[in-house]
Each structure stands twice: as C-alpha cells, then as structure tokens.
A and B are shown apart, each in its own frame.
Chain A
Amino acid sequence: MLLLQLAWRNLGRSRRRTALTLAAAVFATLLMILNLAVSAGSQKRWIANAVELYPGHFQVSARGYRDTRSLDDALVLSDAQRAALDGLPGAEGWAPRLEAFGLASADADRATGRGVQLLGIDAARESKLSRLLRGMREGRAPARGGVREIALGDQLARNLGAKLGDTVIVVSADAFGSQTADRFHVVGEFHLGASELDGFAAIVDLAELQDFLGVGGGLSHVAVFAPEPRAQTQIEASLAAAFPADRYEVLGWPQLVPELVQFFRIKDIGDWLKNGLLLIVVAFGLLNTILMSVFERVREFGVLRAVGMRPRAICGLVVAESLMLSLLGIGLGFGLGIPLVLFLERHAIPLTGAEMRASLAVFGLEPVLEFALSRSALVALPLVLVAVGLVAAFLPALRAGRSRPVDALRET
C-alpha cells in the first residue's frame, strides 16, 4: 500500500516525464483502437457488399431444391407464408426469385449457345433490397407483359455479341423436362463487379420466367434482407416457424456465401499479424520511455537503497508506476478513441486516390474507408494493452532494482 502511494506521488513529482509516458500510452491505445475499427469496418463492408449484392441475409427454399436445383422442388408460397414474410420483425423486406440454367445465343442461325444463369426477379422489390439492379449500366430492368425482355451481364453480352435493342435466343428445360425456347429482347446491360454474374447471369422478370418454364407460381427461393445483426436471431426463429424444417430449408448468409467466411478466416490471420507487429512497436515505445525515466533517476534509487529499501521493493515501485501510467493511458485512450470511432462510424472517410478508387471498384466497393466498433476492441484490447505495459515495465524495473548507492554517488 505504501508502495502504491509512493508510486502515485512519484508520478506527480515529475510531471513532464509522466506526461511523456502517458502520451505514449494514450497514443498506443488510440492507434490500436483505430486499427481494430478499420478492420472491423472493412469486414462489415465486405459482408454488406457480398450479401446485399444478391444473396440476402436469409434464403428460404423447399427442402431438396439445393441438391437437385430441379423445378420439381420449387417453392410455392401460401398466403400465410406471405403474411409471415411481410411481418418479419426488423427485416428490410423479402424478394421472391426463380433461377434456372439455360443456354443463350445471338439471334442468328447456327450461333453458339453459352451457359447462362437466368435470374427471375420482381424488379420493384429487388430494387429496394439487393444491389442487383443498381448495376444496370445501360437500359433498364426487364418488365413483364408484351414481348419477353432480358438484361444481360456486360461480359455475357459481349460474349454473345448482343447489344441493347437486339434479341437473343434462350433455351432451357421446362418443369416437365421438355425443351423450351424463346426470343428475348435485350433491354438492359449490367455490371456488378462479380465475374460469375457479369459473365453468366441474365435478369428476367419473375412472372415471365415462370411462364417460360411453366412452373406456375414456383420459386427457387425467397431472399430476406435484414442488415441489422441484432434482428437476425428473431427473424431466423420467425422463418423457422413459418417454414418448418421437414419441408423447407432456411439458410443464413454465412452458409449462402461460404467463401466470404473463408475469406474472413484468412483476413483474421493477417489482422492478427498486423496487430501483433503493432503491439511490439507499442511495447518498445513504452519500454523506451520507462527505461529513460529509470536512467534519469539513478540518484533517487541510490538514495532509496541507502536508506534501506529492498531491491525488490524498488522493482515493484517502478512496475507500479508504469502500471498506473498505462491504466491511465488506456483509460484516456478509450475515452478519446471510442467517441472518435463512433463518429467515424457515421462519417466514413472518402478515398480520393484514383488508383485506390479503381482497385476498389473492381470489387464493386465504394471508395470510402469505413470504421466500426468491434467487440474485441472493447473487451480484449484493454487486457492486452495492460499486459504489454507490464512486459514493457519489467526490464526497466529490474534495472532500477539493481541500482547501487555507489553509482548514485558517482553521478553528479
């Protein structure tokens, strides 16, 4: 107790030195908080980007469909199920979809067919939920009624040699396995930055595709959009109630975009390495300031030894001092850092470098630096920083403990 009191007084005795070490601790804390916020922000951005591009946060399909991809296992919604989807708490909305594999070719004799993924969508709903229709570079979304309309991925359009206003031939298998073919008018061309969509996908109105394939009201799946993580548990429960597991399958986004989860696993390793390096730098910064302060206090420690203080107590004194300093520093760092991150969470920093913008555009990302408060920043970071502070204090403390009154005498 006496030791702690002494340590506290020592901090007050040399304000400049204290301020310097404190500044180092605050700076280190801030740096770590911002670093974690940037990686949490980019993770959030990647999730939003991949999930909102098309898949959605949940997908409901009939059991068996995911294995067979067969129209035999199409999903047909009852009125009660529609009502349940409309009433999902905290969800942004839902979109019915029908997907089918087909071949498309230019509308010329002997043109080569290319594999195409037909996406039958409800444009009014889809435009409010996914980014699918926001990628429409030219033209518009296909509508229903009249002639059959289609929007092509830009790469697919190039491969087919089709432009806006042209017609293309689409062949697929209908609900009875029979071949179905028709002419579709190209009304739009989209670019979404995902090669599997730009190169192979074509958008058609849902009702038109249902008619083309003869599936009545059949759907491949219903996508539910619920970006708020806190609402997702409740939504999952409501979906499970409306779509019992023996006949339906409800999947969440980690199962829908497994490659994203994989990507985060790799990214986590990278983040961990980066944070580890940063922590080492922080530890050396603290070590340096504490060590310098110990060198300054040769006389002080010599006198303490001369009046009978044990080396171990001196060692403890230095550790106690730096522990107080780092606790104070971490506290201040959090006091500054958390509001800063909360502010930045709402005000993403736009990136202006042309190269950076271009490289993000490849992934269909907005050129902004996003921040997010991560749970690990709040829980793990203070503990880790205290541990680092202790480690950094240890060497100077040993050194202080070895002080001899003789050295103090020699010091002028």
Chain B
Amino acid sequence: MTRICVVLAAALWLAGVARADAPDAAEIVRRAEDALRGNTAEMKLRMAITTPRWSRELVVRTWDDRPHDRSFVRVLEPEKDKGTAFLRDHDAFWTWLPRVERAMRIPPSMMLQSWMGSDFTNDDLARESSLEKDYVPVLLAGQELEGVPAYQLELRPKPEAPVVWAKVELWIEKARYAPLLYTYYDEPQPGHFEPLRTLRFSDIHEVQGRPLPHAWEMVPMDKPGHSTRVTLEEVKLDQVLADDIFTQSNLRKSEAAR
C-alpha cells in the first residue's frame, strides 16, 4: 500500500513538473507569431524565387497591422513590377495594377493562389489567416529538431475558420520561442494528410526583444526545383502604423514607392 502511494506521489510530482515545464500550446503559438509579426510590423523583404527554368528577385515593403486586421504590400523592385501594391482590410483584398492604373478587388477564392509567381500565397503576404486565431493547437511529443530543443505542435483549423490548410505542424525553439519549421498539410482523403509545403526559418536574431528569423524559405512538395527564399532587410516592430497607409489612395500612389 505504502509502495503504491509512493509511486503515485512520484507520478503526480513528475506530472506536475512536466506541466510546469511545458507551457500551454496556445501560448507557444502566440509567442512564435509575436516573434514573426510583432504587434505591428513594417519590413523590407528581398524575395528570391527559384524554378527549374528561371529565377528572379523581388524587393517589397510590407506593413502588417494585427490589431486592426489589415496589411499593405508594395513592390519596389524589379522595374517591371514596381508600383504593384496590395491592400487588405479585414477580408477585402485589393491589388493596384500600375500598367492600367486600376485597383482590382481580388475574390476570396484567390487567396491561396501564388503571389507574384512565388511559392508564397496571397494569404501569406496579406496575412489574412492567422495561426493563432484560426487554428486549435495541440502539443506533440517531439523534443528537438535537428539537435535544437524545440516544441512540436499540431494545428487543426477551427470549424468556422475561413482557411485553408487541413493541418499545420510547427517546430518552435524552446529557448526563445522562435519559429523553426512550419509544415503545411492537405487532406486529400479524410484522415489522410499529405505535406504540401514547408517553411523553414533561420538566421534568428533579436529585434526589439523578439527572436526574429531573418531568412524564410518556402519549399513546395509538389513542384520539384521550386523554392522561394525571403530575407529581411529592414524591420520595425510594434510602431504605431498610420491609418493613411491602409487606404485606397495610398494604394494608387504607385510612384511614391518608398
């Protein structure tokens, strides 16, 4: 009897330690998303797209305003695409077409289409869906990724979420809660998941107290030889973003592209 009690007590103690050690799954996702996006974020990104036949580079400036659920993207380079801009305000998504000087509203069905020929989608750039808001996370057993102690999480979409991926698997560094590797899954048959693309983060260093990866590489599984690598050239987190960034008139300012 006493022996059983001792074992039970030990088990309870261990369980308690484990719980204290591993934070809540939602908290891990929140901290990783905070690291990537801040509360608000203004970034200058260099995007290198590689395919078996061609490769090209884009430079874009992005504004991501999470509290107001809106974002803005403007293409700075190359010359051919310069001035193309994207504005998202809640679920309305617009693109500015400098060649014809018109703003066109992009229908929601297009959110998963390739953004400017890259392996990122419109949704990735416009950040309409959110891993934090639209998915339910569960902590899995994985303890380290390629030698780095990390949390392994599985995210399933909430029933009412407007999204998209049947499942997302996250690896998040334990020490700093920095995102390491995201794998996005499709569910071609119920209960059968297939990885569609991986997003790998590297070059992590602190920006305003957040462990921000400065290189992101997206690799689609179904297109051999394709990949898109994003490097962060400038980052400003948590500043207050002016309302007039997220307006139709700003969208039209294709020339004022700085």
What residues make up the interface of A, taking CB atoms closer than 8 Å to B?
68, 72, 103, 105, 107-115, 169, 171, 173, 176-183
Contacts and interface: CB of A to CB of B under 8 A. Distances in A.
A176 B105 contact: no
A236 to B, nearest CB: 30
Instruction: State the 8 A-B residue pairs at the shortest beta-carbon distance, nearest first.
Output: A177-B117, A181-B97, A112-B105, A113-B104, A181-B99, A105-B104, A72-B53, A110-B103
A97 B100 CA distance: 26
B109 interface: yes
A266 to B, nearest CB: 25
Contacts of A182: 99-100
Given A169-B97, A177-B118, A179-B116, A72 B51 contact: yes
With most chain A CB atoms within 10 A of its CB, the pick from B52, B100, B106, B223 is B100
A103 B106 contact: yes
A103 B116 contact: no
- Which of under 10, 10 to 19, 20 to 34, or 35 or more describes the interface residues of B? 20 to 34
B102 interface: yes
A171 B97 contact: yes
A108 B101 CA distance: 10
A262 to B, nearest CB: 21
Interface of B: 49, 51-54, 56, 80-81, 84, 94-95, 97, 99-100, 102-107, 109-110, 114, 116-118, 223, 248
A209 to B, nearest CB: 16
A173 B114 contact: yes
A179 B114 contact: no
Contacts of B95: 171, 179
Nearest to A110: B103
B51 A178 contact: no
Contact of B104 (A68, A115, A169): A169
Nearest to B248: A110
A176 B55 CA distance: 8
A107 B110 contact: no
Given A115-B110, A179-B84, A169 B223 contact: no
Contacts of A176: 54, 56, 117
A149 to B, nearest CB: 16
A327 B108 CA distance: 68
Contacts of B117: 173, 176-178
A115 to B, nearest CB: 7
27 contacts: A72-B52, A103-B106, A105-B104, A105-B105, A107-B102, A108-B102, A109-B102, A109-B103, A110-B94, A110-B105, A111-B104, A113-B105, A113-B110, A115-B110, A169-B97, A169-B104, A171-B97, A173-B114, A173-B117, A176-B56, A177-B56, A177-B118, A178-B80, A178-B81, A179-B95, A179-B97, A182-B99
